[in-house]
Structure 1
Amino acid sequence: MRIFEVIRWGNDSGDPLTGGANGPDTCFLVRADTVEEAARLADVRLAALPHQRVSPWSHAVYLLGDDLASREAPLILRGPYIQSAYCHGWRQWHRNERNDPWVEKPSPDAAA
């Protein structure tokens, strides 16, 4: 299993400064085997959350590391939590629409 952070850009707060698509992001810490599996778990939760100002699906997935101690089923370990999502050189995948395939983007650190 692997540990992923799954991100929806923004949050559904009505606050004009911190809400909407440009506000801090809605994130989940997920244990799963694949990017698609991690996103699928988060998307089920996102669809159930308020989403008048943001999309009800995830936009990005970051691979944080491996879960070597667990052989349990895929699971949301934490979330949703609201924070600005920053990729610190991790492998990352993005999509622009709910049904788009996940596309890996090179890390800016990889070019250095």
Structure 2
Amino acid sequence: MSWHRLLASKIRELRLVCCQTSSHSEGIRSFISKNYTQVKSQAPEFPFIVRECENAIPLVVARYDFGVEKKVCVEGFSEKDVDKAVEDLIKQADSINSHRETH
């Protein structure tokens, strides 16, 4: 969970898409339950957005500088796997943001 302290400084928005009831969204729902309150208490202005839709394919979407977005399908992932996917998206931020600045 080291990504919590890096989140707001590395990416512009984190969007989580899931189904409220399907088993393939269970991991992302657990991730949201475990992390939402902590993230919002540490960075209340940061857009940590949850979108629920029936039968939605669970996704984690990170928006970086210049509107660049990366998404990861987390269908069937465990909560721990979703956590790792978020951490990986945050780790990509420096490369993505600096690459856009040089062009």
TM-score, with structure 1 as normaliser = 0.31
> Which has the larger share of strand?
1
> Which has the larger share of helix?
2
TM-score, with structure 2 as normaliser = 0.33
> Relative contact order: is structure 1 or structure 2 higher (C-alpha 8 Å, sep ≥ 6)?
2
